[in-house]
Amino acid sequence: MKKQSTSLIPLTDLKQRREAHVLEGKEIRIKISRTNEFKLGRTISIDFEEASSLESIVAVDVSTVKIGVSRLGEVHAIRGSTVLKERGAVKINRTRPMIVLGGISDSQVSFELEEQLKSISSIRNSLMLLDGDLNEMMNVSGPLGLSHFLTSACNTLISVSKGFVDPFIRLPEDFDVSPFIGEILNGRSPREYLVRLKPGSPLLKVEAYPEVELEEISSLLASLILIDGVDYGYTEALRIAHIYSKILPVEVLTLKCVLQKKFGIEVLREIDNRKMLLGGFWS
């Protein structure tokens, strides 16, 4: 029987030849996909003298964590928190972790978001802050959830995306020394803006609902900076909401014990087959 050929290199050979030249320049391949170049429209400085009057600032965040696996499938936990800044006082509402058996879904995130909205249902004429992408959250919350809360209470929502990083954006020198906001012309919605809340801090992408003019959202952000503070270039209310929504490792252990003792469900650490099968080359 003819021996089957293989293209795999034994790991022992790699160790023996690690000092040898393995990759040559002519062996490198490159493929460039056509992407939309980032386009920045009208840009203005955030003027604190034009700050709008806000009665309160509300920040909401929802966190999820994977606890492990059980005979019923994956086990997750989810929790939300709300921070209300009003008349110089700070109030924090945090729900108990909710255990989810099976994969985490939009419905569970929506449920927790709705629970947070209930705690601030009486708030009027406020600025509401959410961590993440507004388009995704609008889809998750359903037609009668987040949008209904905003329109019925005359509140304005601003979502903040921390993951927006483009080191190749070139800005006018004037905006290196002052907070600014600029229109993103080729975003997924006409509500997207590029923002820097503090000189030297990272760039953020924000979205507003309902859709407002550039000057109006600039006025809202000026009030946010004055009332809430942005010591790290990020709103303090959202920082607090994120911290209180996090599910800590000690809480994960507690949830595992509760599932075992109260419900007879054993939760084990998930086994990563890639690490087992590929060893040091798993990543």
Flag whether pLDDT at 77 surpasses 80: yes
Spatial contact of 143 and 202, defined as CB atoms under 8 Å apart: no
> What percent of the chain clears pLDDT 90, i.e. is strictly above it?
12
**pLDDT tens figures, 207-248:** 888 788 889 999 999 999 888 888 888 999 999 999 999 999
User: Measuring CA to CA, how many Å separate 232 from each of 85, 199, 211, 228?
Assistant: 18, 10, 27, 12
Spatial contact of 203 and 165, defined as CB atoms under 8 Å apart: yes
**pLDDT tens figures, 15-56:** 555 555 555 666 677 766 655 567 888 888 898 888 888 878
Look up residue 122 and give its two tokens. 């009486």
**pLDDT tens figures, 166-191:** 666 777 776 777 889 988 888 777 78
Flag whether pLDDT at 70 surpasses 50: yes
**pLDDT tens figures, 95-154:** 888 888 877 766 667 667 777 776 666 677 788 888 877 766 665 545 445 555 555 555
